[in-house]
Amino acid sequence: MTYRVCFVCTGNICRSPMAEYVFRARVAEAGLAERVEIDSAGTGGWHEGEAADPRTVAVLRDGGYDCDHVARRFQPSWFARRDLVIALDAGHLRDLRRLAPTEDDARKVRLLRAYARRSPGALAPDEPPVDDLDVPDPYYGGPDGFEECLEMVEEASAGLLAAVREHLEGRAA
């Protein structure tokens, strides 16, 4: 069975595509590419149809990641086709949980950095306070902000991969 993960930020041109491509690489390295589908979207439609921000593409390329991305907006109907929806900050977490058609769908929404702050485990952890778990929006800053964002995404991806792998193994058992 395929496990589906969607990363969500504001406009789907900086943080969420960065998370998508980093996590896609981690999943491929783990040999799980055929079992895990990864995509991304934004809470708003301002950049629909646009490529990722050139600074995102540059920092990903410098980090050894590919990025061939077109922005889109997250739709509530997508919850039915996603197992996990990863928010990049607390505002996205709130927005996505409000969009969720059901309580079960709302429980699918998690903060990315929650996976960097806990040992690998269940996909429904009790999250620590959200004020320090945001991946800051680098859009209005310089290259340093994009590099910091990449570091946060890479750190959290390891824990997220461990959690997804654990879930897949539980399904297989």
Encoded tokens for 13: 């041109």
Residue 86's closest CA among 162, 169, 153, 34?
153
Please pick, among 15, 26, 110, 165, the residue that the annotation labels catalytic.
15
- Which stretch of DSSP H or E encloses residue 8? strand 3-9
**Sign of the CA dihedral 92, 20, 102, 83?**
negative
What residues are paired with 73 via a beta bridge? 42
Q: Is 137 a catalytic residue?
A: yes
**CA–CA distance, 145 with 142 (Å, rounded to integer):** 6
Q: Is 15 a catalytic residue?
A: yes
Please pick, among 35, 94, 107, 137, the residue that the annotation labels catalytic.
137
Please pick, among 6, 9, 14, 149, the residue that the annotation labels catalytic.
9
Are 15 and 43 in contact by the 8 Å Cβ rule? The answer is no
- Which stretch of DSSP H or E encloses residue 114? none
Q: Is 149 a catalytic residue?
A: no
Which DSSP string corresponds to 94-127? HHHHHH-SSHHHHTTEEEGGGGTSS-S--SS--P
Cα angle, residue 76 at apex, residues 73 and 78 outer, rounded to 5°: 80
Catalytic residues: 9, 15, 137
